[in-house]
């Protein structure tokens, strides 16, 4: 075990975020606001001097992470295992549209990490694939990393790494656009250093 700290960074505002649509693995783009958020966050995260920067292969994450790569000169790696939850039949819909399609479905899904949208993934599955990325960074000898990814993934991977029982995962609230979570290692265990942190205005 070599990783000492890990930053899980959510992408900036996308056009689907602005329209309040559930994007899942649809490849939405950053808005002008999202690009500005990414630049401001990059200035803060660059001070941590991470060794590795990896982004989801979805554009909103890659374009957010590119701001940190430009700020630091770091290479930007891409890993599709850091993609957002596949939302199946709900992708592209508003919450109201999902409620019409599946009454009570969103509340059930949010309350149970082992529940998936029709044709989609569970939070447990998403966290599991992302955990493989962290394990590989550990094995490769890196001491610090920034993963630029998605809100649903962060709210699953964080409690998984902390050893929280699945029943307790819903306690971890959502991550705002371009906010991040920092985990630090004490001995063999991960501890939560900060959650849903923002760059100063």
Task: Point out the residues that are catalytic.
Answer: 11, 84
Instruction: Give every CB contact of residue 131 below 8 A, 6+ residues apart in sequence.
Output: 157, 160, 161
Radius of gyration of the chain (CA): 16
């Amino acid at each position: 075990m070599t990783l000492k700290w890990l930053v899980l960074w959510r992408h900036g505002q996308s056009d689907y975020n602005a329209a309040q649509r559930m994007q899942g693995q649809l490849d939405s783009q950053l808005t002008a606001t999202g690009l500005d958020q990414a630049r401001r966050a990059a200035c803060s995260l660059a001070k941590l001097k991470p060794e590795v920067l990896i982004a989801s292969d979805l554009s909103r994450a890659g374009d957010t992470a590119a701001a940190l790569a430009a700020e630091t000169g770091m290479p930007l790696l891409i890993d599709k295992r850091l993609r957002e939850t596949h939302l199946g039949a709900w992708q592209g819909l508003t919450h109201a549209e999902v409620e019409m399609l599946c009454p009570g479905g969103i509340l059930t899904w949010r309350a149970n990490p082992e529940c998936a949208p029709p044709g989609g993934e569970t939070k447990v599955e998403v966290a599991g694939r992302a955990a493989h990325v962290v394990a590989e960074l550990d094995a490769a000898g890196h001491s610090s990393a920034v993963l630029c990814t998605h809100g649903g993934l962060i709210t699953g991977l964080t409690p998984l790494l902390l050893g929280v029982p699945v029943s307790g995962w819903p306690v971890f609230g959502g991550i705002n656009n371009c906010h991040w979570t920092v985990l630090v290692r004490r001995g063999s265990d991960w501890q939560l250093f900060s959650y849903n942190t923002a760059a100063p205005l």
